[in-house]
Amino acid sequence: MLLRHTTKEVKERKALTVNPAKTCQPVGAMYAALGVHGCLPHSHGSQGCCSYHRSALTRHYKEPIMAATSSFTEGSSVFGGQANLLQAIDNIFGIYEPQIIAIHSTCLSETIGDDLGQIVGKAKDDGRIPEGKHVVQASTPSYVGSHVTGYANMLEAFVKYFAFKTDEKLRQVNLLSGWVEPSDMRELKRLAGLMDIKTVLLPDTSDVVDTPMTGKYQMYPKGGTTIEEMVSMGNSMSTVALGEWGAKSAAIALDNKCKVPFSMNDVPVGVSATDRFIQALSTAGKVSIPEIISEERGRLVDMMTDMHQYFYGKRVALFGDPDTLLPLTEFLLDLDMKPVYIVSGTPGKRFTQRMEEILGDKLAETKFKNGPNADMFLLHQWIKEEPVDLLIGNTYGKYIARDENIPFVRMGFPIIDRVGHSYFPTVGYQGGLRILEKILGAIMDKIDATAPEESFELVM
C-alpha cells in the first residue's frame, strides 16, 4: 500500500501540503498560450520551470510541447532578468520565428521584482520586436492561486493585447473557454457550428496538442486562435465565457476594453450545464436551438434513464479544478449519485458559495474544501472515514483508488497514465455520454471482478 501513511483522523495541518491537488500558475499560462496560433510560450525564470511544464504537458498529451526559457543565472537573480529576457526575445524571433511570444513570469522573477511590462516596453523601444510580431506578457507568480490562475491570467493578457473595437459590427460570438482538453474545444466549435453560429474560440488547443502523425515535425501546428480572430473579438456581438476560474477575468477585460457584453457560464459538463450553455449560445447568437442538438440531448438523457439503477445512491469522491468540479458535481446529482467528498487545490471563495448552491439541501453529508490544505491526503483521509464507490480525478488519484480498491475514472489535468482525453470530449451532451460510459465501465468492471460466482451476471 503506497499510501499506508494516510491516517483516518483528520488533523488540522499548519504548514504542510501533502500530495497536492494542484500545481503552479506558469503551466496554465503555457497551456493557454499553446491555444494561440503561431505562439511560442516563454517562461521567464530558471530553466527547470520551463522543462517541468513542458514535461508535464508532454506526458499529458503525448505531443511535443515547445516553450522557451529565460534561463536565469545567479546573476539574473541578483541584477534582475531584463538582460536575459531581451536576449531571449532576440533569439526567439531570430531562430524560432513565432508570430507571438507569450511570456509568463515565475515565482523567481516575481520575487526579485522583474516588471515584465517594462521589459517588453524596452524591447519594443529598442526595436527588438520585428514588424508584425507580438510580445504578450502575463504575471503568473507560483505562490498565488494555482495552474488555473495562470491559465486565466494568460487568457486575459491575450484579450487585452489583441481585441480591438472598430465601427464594424461582426455577426459572431466569442467563446472564452476555461481549461478543457483539445477534444472539448473541438466539441464546443462543433456545437456552435450545428447551431450555425460563427464563433471565435479562445484559446483553441485543438490541432495543436492533438496533431495527426505526418512524418513531419511542425513547431507551430495549424491550430490555435489566430491574431486576426483575436483582434476581431472586439467587434463581436457578445461573449459566452465558460468557467469562472479560467475565463471570467478575460471576459471582464474584453467587456471593459471593447464593450462586448458577456454571459458567465459553467464549463458544459453534464446535462444541466450543457443545457445552460446551449441556451446561452442561442441567446448570444440570436438563433433557435436546432432539432439535431435536442436529439443529442435526448440520447444522453436516455442513457441516464436506462442505467439509473447503477448510478443511484453511489458515493463519489472527486478532485480537480473548480471549473469542471462544479458542473460535474451537478451532473452526478442529476444522475442520482452522491458526490460526498470534493477537493480542489485551487483557491477562491466562490467555490464554497457555488458548491452550496449546487448541493442545496440535497446532500447535507457532502464535505468539500478548496485552497490551502485541500490536497489528496485530506481526500484520502475522508475516504478512510467512510468509503466511496467511485473516485473521479486526474492520474494522481490512482494511489488512493488502488489502496482502497475504488473504481476510478480519470478526468482533469494531468492524465499521464491513460489516453483518450485529447480525442474524446467530456463537454456537451456527447461528452456526457462518454462520462457515463466511463463511470459505468469502472463500476461494472468492479462488480464483474468481485461478484461471487452465483451472482455473476451476464446481463447488466
Partner 1 sequence: MSNYLKDRESQILTKGNDAAEISCDKKSLAGSVSQRACVFCGSRVVLYPIADALHVIHGPVGCASYTWDIRGSLSSGPQLHRLSFTTDLKERDVVFGGEKKLYHALIELIDKHQPKAAFVFSTCIIGVIGDDVEAVCRKVTKEKGIDVIPVMSEGFNGTKKDGYKIACGALSKLVGTNNDYEAPKYSINILGDFNLAGELWILAEYYKKLGVEIISCMTGDGRVEQIRRAHKASLNVVQCSGSIMHLAKEMKEKYDIPFMKVSYFGIEDMSEALYEVAKFFKDDEMLAKARELVTNEISKLLPALQPYRQKLEGKKAAIYVGGAFKAISLVKALRLLGMKTVVVGSQTGNAEDYKLLKDLCDEGTIIVDDSNPNELSEFVKLTGANLFIGGVKERPIAHKLGLGFCDHNHERKEALAGYVGMMNFAKEVYASVTSPVWKFVK
Whole-number minimum distance, CB 431 to partner 1, in Å?
Answer: 25
Please pick, from the candidates 58, 226, 263, 381, the single residue that binds partner 1 as defined by CB under 8 A: 58
15, three cell numbers: 504548514
- Please choose, out of 24-32, 312-320, 334-342, 360-368, the segment that lies near partner 1 by the rule CB under 8 A: 24-32
Please pick, from the candidates 32, 89, 176, 415, the single residue that binds partner 1 as defined by CB under 8 A: 89
**The CA-based dihedral angle spanning residues 399, 48, 134, 192, taken in that order and rounded to the nearest 10 degrees:** -10
The answer to whether 64 contacts partner 1 (rule: CB under 8 A) is yes
Instruction: Give the distance, in angstroms, between the CA of residue 392 and the centroid of all CA atoms in the same chain.
Output: 15
Select 35 or 45, whichever has its Cβ closest to partner 1: 45
Radius of gyration of the chain (CA): 23
Interface map 90-129 toward partner 1 (x if CB under 8 A)? xxx-xxx---------xxx--xx-----------------
The answer to whether 71 contacts partner 1 (rule: CB under 8 A) is yes
Please pick, from the candidates 29, 37, 39, 84, the single residue that binds partner 1 as defined by CB under 8 A: 84
Helix axes 182-194, 271-285, angle to 10 degrees: 50
Whole-number minimum distance, CB 394 to partner 1, in Å?
Answer: 11
The answer to whether 72 contacts partner 1 (rule: CB under 8 A) is yes
**How is 67-115 classified by DSSP, letter by letter?**
-EE----HHHHHH-SHHHHHHHHHHIIIII--SEEEEEE-HHHHHTT--
Interface map 197-236 toward partner 1 (x if CB under 8 A)? --------------x-xxxxxxx-----------------
Residue showing cell 433557435: 288
8, three cell numbers: 483516518
What is the per-residue burial (b if ≥16 Cβ within 10 Å, else e) of 182-199?
A: bbbbbbbbebbebbebeb
The answer to whether 63 contacts partner 1 (rule: CB under 8 A) is yes
The Cα–Cα gap between 282 and 238 comes to 11
Select 35 or 141, whichever has its Cβ closest to partner 1: 141
Please pick, from the candidates 32, 39, 70, 340, the single residue that binds partner 1 as defined by CB under 8 A: 70
The Cα–Cα gap between 354 and 341 comes to 15
Select 18 or 303, whichever has its Cβ closest to partner 1: 18
Interface map 28-57 toward partner 1 (x if CB under 8 A)? ------------x-x--xxxxxxxxxxxx-
Asked whether the beta carbons of 33 and 41 are under 8 A apart, the reply is yes
Select 109 or 177, whichever has its Cβ closest to partner 1: 109
Select 221 or 432, whichever has its Cβ closest to partner 1: 221
Spatial CA neighbour of 270 closest among 44, 381, 431? 431
Asked whether the beta carbons of 254 and 262 are under 8 A apart, the reply is yes
- Say how many residues touch partner 1, by CB under 8 A: 84
Select 14 or 169, whichever has its Cβ closest to partner 1: 14
Select 25 or 174, whichever has its Cβ closest to partner 1: 25
Instruction: Enumerate residues 319-358 that contact partner 1 by CB under 8 A.
Output: 345
Whole-number minimum distance, CB 215 to partner 1, in Å?
Answer: 4
Interface map 355-394 toward partner 1 (x if CB under 8 A)? -----------------x----------------------
Residue showing cell 473516485: 391
Instruction: Enumerate residues 290-309 that contact partner 1 by CB under 8 A.
Output: none
**How is 292-334 classified by DSSP, letter by letter?**
HHHHHHHHHHHHHHHTHHHHTT-EEEEES-HHHHHHHHHHHHH
Select 76 or 172, whichever has its Cβ closest to partner 1: 76
200 three-state secondary structure: strand
Strand pairing category for 68-69 and 39-44: parallel
9, three cell numbers: 483522523
The answer to whether 146 contacts partner 1 (rule: CB under 8 A) is yes
Please pick, from the candidates 143, 168, 349, 453, the single residue that binds partner 1 as defined by CB under 8 A: 143
Whole-number minimum distance, CB 70 to partner 1, in Å?
Answer: 5
Instruction: Enumerate residues 391-450 that contact partner 1 by CB under 8 A.
Output: 396
307, three cell numbers: 442505467
